[in-house]
Structure 1
Amino acid sequence: MRTPHGISYVDEGRGPVALFVHGLGTNASLWANVIAELRAERRCVAFDLPLHGQSEARDDLSLPALAELIEEVCADLDLGTVDLVANDTGGAIAQVFAVRHPERLRTFTLTNCDVHDNLPPETFKPTVELAAQGQLAPLTAQLLDQPELVAQSAFGTSYERIDDPAALVDRFLRPIFGDPERGRAFERFVAGLDAKDLIAIEPGLAALTVPTLVVWGTDDAFFELRWAAWLRDTIPGVRKVAEIEGGRLFFVDERAGELVPHLREHFASVPQHS
């Protein structure tokens, strides 16, 4: 399905709305395992960021513009207030959105993601440099038919195990790099990552009282556990920090069963009419 503005999305289940935001290089299917467990009790909506999955390209891919895209999705789908859940770069976008549109949030959940000045994270900077040099897209495109190599290169530090590299490549990378024009646009997106927009919202986060949950994998090469503590110490709405022992960046996919109980508890802590 697509919104009137060309954003592809999945919409499953009935009940209060849980809205899921992915990050760079994945798409809405990152949340498939979480949605499978929650759709009996929540209307679960997950969308593809521009250039990802089946969503169309956009000229402005800055964090503020993508935060307004979340508002656009909420308006297009008449979502009302939502339980917002985000990961990776989606967490950065969601933080900007939360500061700009706190009235949209019933609850807020952040998993391993860019925080404050850790954008891009040090471990990701070589990828940013490749993108800035125009080498990331052609190199990745050449490797799409060598899934074991490209999956290990792209996701080897983000997953604990990659059991089916071909499926992972087809799921996340081919929609981006299978088309040269989309690949070049993705390079511009990556090369444009800048911490200034996250640093600018620190005062807004310090005033954010929306009930907030932080769930963090402890073995993340990009986003160390100290960033979960930063969120706890900065956002007054944080009620709990939960650690997923040994979890990596995309534990929300491969260890969804450990995330879901925390989400259920968090969602239940706030009356549905609020």
Structure 2
Amino acid sequence: MIAGAGALPACGVARAGERRASDVAGFAARRRFADTPFGRIAYAAQGTGPAALFLHGFPLNGFHWRGALERLSPHRRCIAPDFMGLGYTEVSGRQDLSPQAQADMLVALLERLGISSIDLIANDSGGTIAQLFAVQRPDRVRTMLLTNCDVHENCPPAQMRNSINAAKAGTYDQKMQRHLDDGTYARSEKGIFGSAYRAPANVTDETIAYYFGPLVSSPLRRSQLNRYLAGLEPNPLLAIEADLRRLDTPTRMVWGTADPLFPAHWASWLDQTLPGSRGIRQVEGGRLFWPEERPDVVAEEARTLWGIS
């Protein structure tokens, strides 16, 4: 069932010299580290009460959810970790970076933080990890809100083939370096921000550096970037289809309509598959990383799913 369609409003596009200062410094000041058997897991935390866990996509980090954390922290203890191999999390060169290993890491992180159950919110490849976590630890997930992400056979999307091949060859980090060196490229249709954001001109240089700087900061981090991306294969979601068909966790899909990687029919697949589905909201014009541009929609849908007026 598709309900609550909402259009993205026109976003103001500032000229390059007029981009407002980002809130990188404030977010970085909230960064904490949890020592786990997997390594030092970076995370941001805001708010008190029952916990909500926010899972970012590739190649971002928890900063993606800063607007949602601000809006939802009056209602939840909001936790936004950086996955292993991305962001500011520190793990060894031998650490498995596959989606399953990431899901296992989240269990260890929650135990380290003394959290027994969560509301789960995810985007992009974080959605793969969310689905694995939810079917393997259903007792720990109260609700799940999925935005544009990997689903069933579309994991990873076919459009990622060239990038995954580059990662397997150990060269994808060079593309990341280009994003850091050339902001115009990063914001173009060939760059990550130009292809995944509706208003890429609003992405500040500080944001680009916060996302991608750590990924190329050392030979180890470059290798981990490549291994994270290469590790998205083979598809882990086909094996859990039967589990998803039994998963009665209340789940809401909120889906951008202008995302070529994850078209809206995959939200419909989830709606028809999950016994606990609470339907779909379409975000008209939303691209892959629309939750960063429209945290108000994330917050509104989360509060409704959580039963908060």
The TM-score range, normalised by the shorter chain, is over 0.9
RMSD between superposed Cα atoms in Å = 1.5
Per the alignment, residue 14 of structure 1 pairs with 48
* Aligned-pair CA distance for 1:120: 1.6
Instruction: State the AA in 2 paired with 1:33.
Output: G
Structure 2 CA distance for aligned equivalents of residues 82 and 241 of structure 1: 21
C-alpha distance 180-144 of structure 1, shift in aligned 2 (>3 A): farther
What is the CA deviation profile of residues 199-237 of structure 1, one whole-angstrom value per residue up to 9, with x for unaligned ones?
Answer: 001011000001111111111121000100011111111
C-alpha distance 243-208 of structure 1, shift in aligned 2 (>3 A): same
The equivalent position to 1:29 in structure 2, one of 25, 39, 63, is 63
Q: Does 1:156 align with 2:194?
A: yes
Per the alignment, residue 63 of structure 1 pairs with 99
- Report if the CA contact (8 A) 2:85-2:228 is conserved: no
Per the alignment, residue 79 of structure 1 pairs with 115
Q: Unmatched 5+ residue regions in structure 1?
A: 270-274
What is the CA deviation profile of residues 251-272 of structure 1, one whole-angstrom value per residue up to 9, with x for unaligned ones?
Answer: 1101111221111100117xxx
The equivalent position to 2:214 in structure 1, one of 138, 163, 175, is 175
Larger displacement relative to structure 2 (69-78 or 224-233): 69-78
TM-score (norm 2): 0.83
Per the alignment, residue 136 of structure 2 pairs with 100
- Report if the CA contact (8 A) 1:23-1:90 is conserved: yes
Structure 2 CA distance for aligned equivalents of residues 109 and 167 of structure 1: 29
The equivalent position to 1:2 in structure 2, one of 24, 30, 33, is 33
Instruction: State the AA in 2 paired with 1:227.
Output: W
Structure 2 CA distance for aligned equivalents of residues 164 and 212 of structure 1: 30
TM-score (norm 1): 0.94
Structure 2 CA distance for aligned equivalents of residues 38 and 143 of structure 1: 31
Per the alignment, residue 236 of structure 2 pairs with 197
Structure 2 CA distance for aligned equivalents of residues 121 and 92 of structure 1: 12
Instruction: State the AA in 1 paired with 2:252.
Output: L
What secondary structure sits across from 2:196 in the alignment? Answer: coil
Per the alignment, residue 217 of structure 1 pairs with 256
Structure 1 CA distance for aligned equivalents of residues 184 and 178 of structure 2: 13
Higher normalized contact order (CA 8 Å, seq sep 6+, divided by chain length):
2
Per the alignment, residue 53 of structure 1 pairs with 87
* Aligned-pair CA distance for 1:164: 3.2
Deviating 4+ runs (over 4 angstroms): none
The percent of aligned pairs where both chains have the same amino acid is 36
Q: Does 1:130 align with 2:166?
A: yes
Larger displacement relative to structure 2 (133-142 or 207-216): 133-142
What secondary structure sits across from 1:83 in the alignment? Answer: strand
What secondary structure sits across from 1:236 in the alignment? Answer: coil
- Report if the CA contact (8 A) 1:87-1:110 is conserved: yes
Q: Unmatched 5+ residue regions in structure 2?
A: 1-31
- Report if the CA contact (8 A) 2:98-2:231 is conserved: yes
Q: How many residue pairs were aligned? A: 269
Per the alignment, residue 118 of structure 1 pairs with 154
